[in-house]
Structure 1
Amino acid sequence: MDTPLDIATSGPVQVWTINSPDVGNAITGTEFVKAFEAAVDAANADLEVRAIVLTGAGKIFSAGGNVKEMADRTGMFGVDERAQRRAYVDGIQRIPRAFSRLEVPIIAAVNGASVGAGCDLAMMCDIRIASERASFAESFVQVGLIPGDGGTWFLPRAVGYARAAEMTFTGDRVDAATALEWGMVSLVVPHDELLAAARELADRITKNPSEALRMAKRLLQESRTSPLESVLGMAASMQPLAHLSPEHSSRISRWRTS
């Protein structure tokens, strides 16, 4: 039986593939949420994992919510309005919370349409690389909804407030070339080269020590919302640990002789 999130490990790199193409790689189901949380916790616990690539099976990255369940009022969309808030808190909102505790750098390899919560999922990643076939849409308003999964937090941090507002208020699609121009993605590549490009970037990341990568990521995340003094304080606390690590000692010795 297929799992909603396939995980393939090759050395220090993991490739996570959303594997529900029959429902548009929907990410709102309970099974996907549980699988994603388990993947995050496992990666955090395994210091051999130094980078993750996230992509989608088939022709799209993710259509976000399960449209059929929305229309039929089933699944998390089948509860009455009094329970709907709790359904979001206990459901899809567990994904951004999991991302917030993920210690490992994660690259979105966006292989096709990235819509609604699928667009937000890509924005949760540290880095995004897009296939030339990729597109992005913060499409909630077009079906009378709002970003219920943290999109209004992640999207402005990826593209700035004005671009995020344009995407959120119109729901219009942004193609790969425009996404590159806006800084939403770092690179656009031919479709058949997407995973290779993502893996090449992951390999460049994984050449560096695991603990230093994880601490650097935490500082970057804290810098999104914390004042300078708080970030400086965290850095001052983390740096002695880095100085005392065997990886620092061996690598700084090589630098001195290179």
Structure 2
Amino acid sequence: MNDFLLYEKTGGVVILTMNRPEQRNALSSVEICEEFEDRCRSIERDPSVNALIITGAGPVFCAGGDIKKMRDRSGFAPAKTVIDTRDSYRNSIHRIPKALYNLEVPTIAAVNGAAIGAGLDLACMCDMRISATHAVFAESFIKLGIVPGDGGAWFLPRIVGYSMACEMALTGVQIDAEEARRIGLVSRVVDGAALMEQALELARRIDAMPGRTLRLTKRLLRDSGQLSLDHHLEMAGAFQTISHETEDHREALAAVFEKRAPSFSNR
């Protein structure tokens, strides 16, 4: 496996740290996309993982694509045919949004610095976003004469609304952390030194919940925007039926009546 992502596990929380600070943690190769996919697949298969934090090493969260490779046509857009370029995107950067979207483990982006272009989109692929006070955000593809080719135009409107997403994507405007919080792009803004502490505190509160029910709940929330109410209720009823038969549900009820903290086993 490539070493772009540093892997750390504490309890039921996994931290993936993008570790190319000298390249501003740019998403620059097929291997990086494969690594994201592989890590998500292994996390999904591990029932002991209840939360995932994604952050960046150094002063930048992720600066997006590699501009030099874009100029030289040596990255995701090879100087061949338009079909080759389309296939290149399908086989590279598109693997990241699919992997994160299909991951049923709750995800938190701890945005430690600039999240630009594909870096902003990567943060938007996570379920929750916490920002350092000095972080900045931009959906800046338009300034390079290209479109958000990694799913950003799908994720961003669902987070900040259509009008604000248009304003960001059609002007490439850069916003600061406080503005990001005002428009709902991030839920918290904290001092940079406290960022990981806050992200871990949130992740641990999630980790304290029954793991199988966490995954079912995330699935309901994730799919709610794609389903009619009738179809959502059918899914909710099916998932609730599953939840009623778990040991963790019985443990939660027992803990309430016995006036003690529950001890969940993810079963």
TM-score category of the 2 structures, normalised to the smaller one: over 0.9
| Kept after mapping to 1: 8 A contact 2:2/2:31 | no
| Kept after mapping to 1: 8 A contact 2:105/2:215 | yes
* Cα shift at 1:24: 1.7
Aligned positions of 1:98-109 closer than 5 A: 98-109=99-110
| Kept after mapping to 2: 8 A contact 1:6/1:17 | yes
Q: Number of matched residues?
A: 258
Distance 1:147 1:163 in 2: 15
Distance 1:96 1:224 in 2: 17
Which position in structure 2 is the counterpart of 1:129? 130
* Cα shift at 1:104: 0.3
Aligned positions of 1:50-89 closer than 5 A: 50-80=50-80, 81-89=82-90
Which position in structure 1 is the counterpart of 2:263? none
Which position in structure 1 is the counterpart of 2:227? 226
| SS of equivalent to 1:188 | strand
Aligned positions of 1:167-182 closer than 5 A: 167-182=168-183
Distance 2:15 2:219 in 1: 21
Q: Deviations over 1:95-140 (max 9, x none)?
A: 1111121010000000000000110000110000000011110000
Does residue 16 of the first structure (1) align with residue 16 of the second (2)?
yes
Distance 2:55 2:99 in 1: 17
Which position in structure 2 is the counterpart of 1:41? 41
Distance 1:105 1:8 in 2: 16
Which position in structure 1 is the counterpart of 2:265? none
| Kept after mapping to 2: 8 A contact 1:51/1:205 | yes
Distance 1:207 1:170 in 2: 42
Which position in structure 1 is the counterpart of 2:157? 156
| SS of equivalent to 1:234 | helix
Does residue 191 of the first structure (1) align with residue 192 of the second (2)?
yes
Distance 1:224 1:134 in 2: 29
| Kept after mapping to 2: 8 A contact 1:116/1:140 | yes
* Cα shift at 1:2: 7.6
| Kept after mapping to 2: 8 A contact 1:2/1:19 | no
* Cα shift at 1:187: 0.4
Aligned positions of 1:205-224 closer than 5 A: 205-224=206-225
Letter in 2 for 1:253: A
Unpaired runs of 5+ in structure 1? none
| Kept after mapping to 2: 8 A contact 1:28/1:91 | no
Q: Using a 3 Å threshold, how does the CA distance of structure 1 residues 2 and 219 change in structure 2: closer, same or farther?
A: closer
* Cα shift at 1:77: 2.5
Q: Using a 3 Å threshold, how does the CA distance of structure 1 residues 226 and 39 change in structure 2: closer, same or farther?
A: same
Distance 1:214 1:17 in 2: 22
Instruction: After the TM superposition, list the runs of 4 or more consecutive aligned residues in structure 1 that deviate by more than 6 angstroms.
Output: none
